[in-house]
Amino acid sequence: MYKAMDLSPGLGFIPLVWAIVTIIGVLFCYFYSVIVGDVYPLVPSISNTGTKRPEGDIFAETMNVSSFVCLVIMYIRYYQVRYRVRSSYENAERVNLVSLIVGVATVFGITLVANFPSSEETTTSTVHDIGAVLTFIAALCYCATQTFTTWKLYCFNIDDRLSWIYRLTITCIMMTAGSLFLLFSLFAYEEFEDSHPTHTILQWDQKDGGYNLHVFSNVSEWIGVTCFLLFLVSYFNEFQEINIVTNCIPKSSNCIESVELEKLQESS
């Protein structure tokens, strides 16, 4: 059944604004690094656009803020699913918890990519690569578990058919793009080193070995990241249907009794 889109102020705008701000930050770093000549203009890797200063500082700050908001989105989604399936699907709690755990791993991987540049073959570059692999695998697992959860919600007439088909499609594209990114990267870097270049990968050009594979790898990376953004943006309608309420209560029973006693004294 079709639901009219709710455009009133609500939680649905959190993933939407998050995606827009993240895209603007990444594109700014890309155009700036190309204009000043820090990277080659034809589809560089996303992280290479934020390797040198000052764009590197902007890239790191953008990704740090983005990763925090991303964690908030995943946290909201976890409690939303937990509420919606509390009496419909007995294994949903387990799948939902796994989804949150791999979501946290995704966010941690993003922070590694953002704060450890990959300009040279150093320990920093190694940590960066570990973060990139962790981000891809964890993000893919997150999307897969959320797609599965959405499908189960559809089976119980809690969610609509379009949502799980959309998320399944995005997840499949993301898996394909991410796999090609990792595969092409390995062969491209190997050919690049075999050609004995006189510059770093930031200035990789057509004369260097593995250039074509490198471009294909970067295209796959951009597609994979875009898919992840689109996946979380798909929470818009569902987030518009809920509110998050926090509550603060005393930790011990003694505190509760004292609070109730104070209320009685005030009312008397």
> Does residue 206 sit within a domain?
yes
Number of domains composing the chain: 1
Q: What is the DSSP letter of 88?
A: T
Mind listing the pLDDT tens digit of every residue in the chain (268 residues)? 445 565 666 788 899 999 999 999 888 888 888 887 777 777 777 777 767 778 778 888 888 999 999 999 999 999 888 887 775 566 777 888 999 999 999 999 999 888 887 665 455 577 878 888 899 999 999 999 999 988 888 877 777 788 889 999 999 999 999 889 888 888 877 776 666 666 565 556 666 666 777 788 888 989 999 999 999 999 988 888 888 877 777 766 565 556 555 665 566 5
Q: What sign does the CA torsion over 252, 254, 259, 263 have?
A: positive
Instruction: Put residue 249 in one of left, alpha, beta given phi > 0 → left and psi -120 to 50 → alpha.
Output: beta
Q: Which of 35, 97, 22 is nearest to 65 (CA)?
A: 22
> Does residue 3 sit within a domain?
no
> Does residue 5 sit within a domain?
no
> Does residue 7 sit within a domain?
no
Give me the half-sphere count of Cα atoms (radius 13 Å) on the Cβ side of residue 235: 32
**The whole model's pTM is what?**
0.82
Which residues form the domain of 223? Answer: 12-267
Rounded-to-integer distance, Cα 186 and Cα 246, Å:
47
